[in-house]
Structure 1
Amino acid sequence: MQETVETFRKDLFSGQHVIVSGATSGIGLDIARGFAALGAEVTATGSSADKIAGMGSESAIRFTRLDVRDRAAVKAFCADQERCDVLINGAGIARGGAEWDEDIFLDTMDVNLNAQFRLAIGLKDRLAERGGSIINIASMLSYMADPGVPAYTASKTGVLGLTRALAHKWGREGIRVNAVAPGYHKTDMTKPIWSVPFGEEAVSRRTALGRWGTTIDLVGPCLFLASPAAAYVTGMCLEVDGGFVTGNPLEA
């Protein structure tokens, strides 16, 4: 993490308020830490009270419980925010083959896609006041198909459309909206693949950089997209997959 944040000015986000959903573990947590390391006040949300209770002390990050499926809770959370400079829509789930059940499919879609819209709408006025930025977390499955996770695939594909629509809807109000698309990063969600030799090797062979990503690999791209260096970048998705999507599956 230190090498990544040292790439940027240490007070880059000083005085700014950054909200990161799905930030009590994995990618979201490291993104929250990245912004905090550059001076931001960070509000990190998660749905698990137990995880929040176990987070310990991180002075620049305030952890709060929020079920992004709960419309009333999201509305109340957004109304309580006096300022928002950056919104990272990081909450996401995958439920494997169970997603072929309609109820689970719809619930997964609600977390991964609808909630991004819900938070963006709720914080839109605060973002407009600050000339703020939204970064949605998409996926390599925004570009590929995986029949093992139909809802995850559909929701992450939808994130691209939502990102573009919001960018054009709110661009004249000074709000930039972009996305990042992680590939295979070592997280709890992907552990069933990277924890076995065949799975880890198969991904590494197809990836141009020859390795799995880490959660920290997502931090720099998010910091860039929220910074003045990306002032003329909106409606775009930055793929952070080590070249996996462009690899040749026949050679994997």
Structure 2
Amino acid sequence: MTLKTFDLTGRRALITGSGSGIGLAYAEGLAGAGCEIVLNGRDESKLAKAEAALRARGFRVTSSAFDVTDPAAVKAGVDAVEKDVGPIDILVNNAGMTIRQPLEDFPEDAWRRVMATNIDSVFYVSKAVARHMLPRGYGKIINTCSVMSELGRPSIAPYTASKGAVKMMTRQMAVEWGRRGIRSNGIAPGYFKTELTDALVKDEKFSSWLEGRTPLGRWGDVSELQGACVFLAAPASDYVTGHVLFVDGGLTASV
């Protein structure tokens, strides 16, 4: 094996929820391995800023703004990328959100918002992209799971339910599409410092608990997710499918 097995030159990746945070880190990692990037999100100004930052580093990147919870918008957006930018070789489903509230009080509309963003979008985007990948006989799909694909915590019921569903959807894609050239895997991040976790990072009690609970003793930095993403996108993982790779500082290994 050589480092060429991690080379993504000539490949193109669509990454949902990539205007900031984990999605943007994935984009940086894949671009650094030679991949052309298509950023996606709903906020065009955020995408433009992220695109400009990546272009300033010499990376090949474009943006495609569409709502991943709208199946018609997803189909139109994916078809437009395939037609105007080029074939999508790698799909990273990363769009996600959470709302915190006790389960017995959780509003039905909030439940649907979380589920639509976290799991419905994986179905819509993967289906739209796979319809192009399957005739070509090749594709890599990487879904952002979570330690909450395996664990529960109070006040985030729809998040844990949706991330458990993403794990099983990842395996189902591997079963249905493996013989037709598509590998489907997941990355399960632990607790990482992002805009979405900023309040928890600043909560001294929570941070102290997390650092004590995690074998590596600290929060993760989003750059530490890039190696896992490159591995699952590259030829190095061509015999890996249906797998969820935990990048959690050992959190799920510890009692």
Answer yes or no: is the 8 Å Cα contact 2:200–2:207 preserved in 1.
yes
Aligned residue number for residue 91 of structure 1:
95
Identify which of structures 1 and 2 has the higher relative contact order when contacts are C-alpha pairs closer than 8 Å and 6+ apart: 2
Aligned residue number for residue 4 of structure 1:
none
In the alignment, is residue 150 of structure 1 matched against residue 145 of structure 2? Answer: no
Q: Distance in 2 between matches of 1:148 and 1:120?
A: 29
Query: Displacement, 1:127?
Result: 2.3
Calculate the TM-score normalised by the size of structure 2: 0.90
Aligned residue number for residue 45 of structure 1:
40
Equivalent position amino acid for 2:72 in 1: A
Calculate the TM-score normalised by the size of structure 1: 0.91
The percentage of counterpart residues that share the same residue type is 36
Answer yes or no: is the 8 Å Cα contact 1:141–1:157 preserved in 2.
yes
Answer yes or no: is the 8 Å Cα contact 1:180–1:239 preserved in 2.
yes
Aligned residue number for residue 118 of structure 1:
124
After superposition, residues 124-135 of structure 1 pair within 5 angstroms as 124-128=130-134, 129=136, 131-135=138-142
Aligned residue number for residue 244 of structure 1:
251
Query: Displacement, 1:62?
Result: 1.2
Cα–Cα, structure 1 residues 8 and 113, in superposed 2: closer, same or farther, change >3 Å?
farther
After superposition, residues 189-208 of structure 1 pair within 5 angstroms as 189-208=196-215
Deviation readout 1:42-95 (Å, 9 max, x if unpaired): 101011123124333433221221111111110101212140111000000112
Q: CA RMSD in A?
A: 1.8
Q: Distance in 1 between matches of 2:74 and 2:4?
A: 33
User: Size of the alignment, in residue pairs?
Assistant: 242
Answer yes or no: is the 8 Å Cα contact 1:9–1:38 preserved in 2.
no
Structure 2 residue runs of 5 or longer lacking an equivalent are none
Q: Distance in 2 between matches of 1:188 and 1:71?
A: 27
Query: Displacement, 1:11?
Result: 8.0
Answer yes or no: is the 8 Å Cα contact 2:143–2:185 preserved in 1.
yes
Answer yes or no: is the 8 Å Cα contact 1:71–1:118 preserved in 2.
yes
Partner residue of 2:28 out of 23, 33, 38: 33
Query: Displacement, 1:247?
Result: 1.8
Aligned to 2:63, the other structure's residue is in SS state: strand
Q: Distance in 2 between matches of 1:85 and 1:135?
A: 11
Query: Displacement, 1:9?
Result: 4.8
Q: Distance in 2 between matches of 1:9 and 1:85?
A: 17
Answer yes or no: is the 8 Å Cα contact 1:11–1:39 preserved in 2.
no
Cα–Cα, structure 1 residues 235 and 44, in superposed 2: closer, same or farther, change >3 Å?
same
Aligned residue number for residue 54 of structure 2:
58
Partner residue of 1:16 out of 11, 18, 32: 11
